[in-house]
Amino acid sequence: MSHSSSGPAPTERSVRIAERVEAFVRDVVIPYERDPRRTGHGPGEELVRELRAKARGAGVLTPHILADGDHLSQLETALVLKRSGLSPLGPVAVNTAAPDEGNMYLLGKIGTQGQKDRFLAPLVRGEARSAFFMTEPAEEGGAGSDPSMLQTVAQRRQGGGWRIDGRKAFITGAEGASVGIVMARTGSSETTRATMFLVDLPHPAIRIERVLDTIDSSMPGGHAVVGIEGLEVGDDQVLGEVDEGFRYAQIRLSPARLSHCMRWHGAATRAQEIATAYATRRKAFGKLLIDHEGVGFMLADNLIDLKQAELMIDWCATVLDTGSLGTTESSMTKVAVADALFRVADRCVQVMGGGGVTQDTIVEQVFREVRAFRIYDGPTEVHKWSLAKKIKRDALGGGKA
């Protein structure tokens, strides 16, 4: 992968880290793509431990967080996470995967020192995985794209602490996680305030009802439906301040949403490499596939989509690096990048014909993963609705015509 001068210049340290991550993913991780332990709901625990041990040995584990605890800027992170995404196993191997990357970011921003020692440190070391418990079952009217519908409730206990009850759905990585961040309603039903709580996992009060069979399969533990009954936590397990959960969610969501764009950009880039190699090797009707306009133009369109997606990612990262929440910018970027990368993956499948729908290469998996991404972290339509509300608000608020 090359980084042209069309966008903001990358820092020396980010280039150095990104090059080491790319070399590790290409040389060490990609051969694992045929490992049977990567199938099912996601890579198995044994495979995760094995890959992370190799990443640790190569000095590329959790590469976006430096030895002194400092975090790369979002623009620097973009360069590194795109390289980690060159294989669907890459983010798992080097510990840049969701939901851990976003949870580490949030804990680093608002956790107390005690919470960082207890919950964050094992995540950074790659010794533990985490889960973020926010989404709830749709059939019960729970929170999804609209977090104000949150039904899980946390009640103060006499003598201190809290009791939490509710059900969660699509909880990525819950199976096998050691650290949980649980979002629960703490205000009255009229005020709809929420609080985040840190929990050691597994916990007898948090029961995995089932792991869903989903279209994607890159995340360890898959996506679970979880019952929470009589979960008791101490006041020291409140993450940040009581009733501020929705505000903290915004701190986490924009960077985590952008990180998804970064990782899947790497995966789509790899799919393009595989499809290009096929089209410049395979012949049909007397010439190479790429010499047929129908195929060559698809690969050309991919090149355009990948570059536009890269520029959107870097633009949004630059906005976040100013300290802005970047809510509007991250919505725009998530929509544009998710849709563009899906087009890229779809064309790669088409270029490869029958081979594109088999698991002989990772093109088929990238197609499935990126299709799911158009829903995860806010469906395209919800982000567009939010942007339309802003357009209306700005126009009626006296903005320029």
Per-residue pLDDT tens digits for 228-258: 999 999 999 999 999 999 999 988 889 999 9
Say if CB 119 and CB 198 are below 8 A apart. yes
Tell me how far apart the alpha carbons of residues 189 and 187 are, in angstroms, rounded to a whole number. 7
Per-residue pLDDT, 189: 61
Mean pLDDT of 200-228: 97
Mean pLDDT of 85-105: 97
**What's the CATH number for 12-97?**
1.10.540.10
User: What confidence score (pLDDT) does residue 74 get?
Assistant: 96
Q: How far is CA 20 from CA 84, 85, 198, 333, in A?
A: 10, 13, 33, 27
With a cut of 60, say whether residue 3 has pLDDT above it.
no
Q: Where are the domains of the chain?
A: 12-97, 130-241, 246-396
Calculate mean pLDDT across residues 343-369.
97
Distance of CA 379 to the CA centre of its chain: 14
Percent of the chain whose predicted confidence (pLDDT) is above 70? 96
- pLDDT of 168: 98
- The burial of 275, by beta-carbon neighbours within 10 Å (0-12 exposed, 13-18 middle, 19 or more buried), is given as buried
The whole-number average pLDDT for the span 309-330 is 96
CA distances to 278, 284, 350, 362, 386 from 374, rounded to whole Å, are: 27, 34, 19, 19, 16
Average pLDDT, stretch 306-316? Answer: 98
Class at the top of the CATH hierarchy for domain 246-396:
mainly alpha
Q: Is residue 399 predicted with pLDDT exceeding 70?
A: no
Which CATH architecture group holds 130-241?
Answer: Beta Barrel (2.40)
pLDDT at 149 over 60: yes
Name the residue among 344, 361, 358 with its Cα closest to residue 278: 361
Question: With bands split at pLDDT 50, 70 and 90, how would you rate the model's confidence at 7?
Answer: low
CA dist 356 and 377 (Å) reads: 27
Q: Exposed, middle or buried, 114 (CB in 10 Å: 0-12/13-18/19+)?
A: exposed
Q: Give pLDDT tens digits for 273-299.
A: 999 999 999 999 999 999 999 999 999
Closest residue by Cα to residue 262 from 78, 110, 131:
78
Residue 5 pLDDT class (50, 70, 90 cuts): very low
Give 148's pLDDT tier (boundaries 50, 70, 90).
confident
pLDDT band at 401 (very low <50, low <70, confident <90, very high): very low
Cα–Cα distances in Å, from 364 out to 36, 328, 342, 350, 360? 16, 32, 12, 10, 8
User: Which H helix or E strand runs over 16?
Assistant: helix 12-24
Phi, psi for 130 (deg, rounded to 5): -135, 170
In the prediction, which pLDDT does 6 show? 54
**Distance from chain centroid for Cα 59:** 22
CB neighbours of residue 67 within 10 Å: 6
* First-to-final CA distance of the chain: 42
Using CA atoms, how far apart are residues 183 and 131, in angstroms rounded to an integer? 11
pLDDT of amino acid 354: 97
Per-residue tokens: 104: 């580490």
Confidence of residue 400 (pLDDT cuts 50, 70, 90): low
Residues 370 and 267: beta-carbon distance below 8 Å: yes
Answer whether 201's CB lies under 8 Å from 228's CB: no
Q: What is the mean pLDDT of residues 44-69?
A: 96
**Farthest-apart Cα atoms in the chain, separation:** 81
Listed residue (73, 103, 77) closest to 266, CA to CA: 77
As a whole-number percent, the residues of the chain with pLDDT over 90 amount to: 89
Residue 2 has pLDDT above 80, yes or no: no
**Could you say which DSSP state residue 364 is in?**
H
Average per-residue pLDDT in the chain? 94
Residue type present at position 51 = L
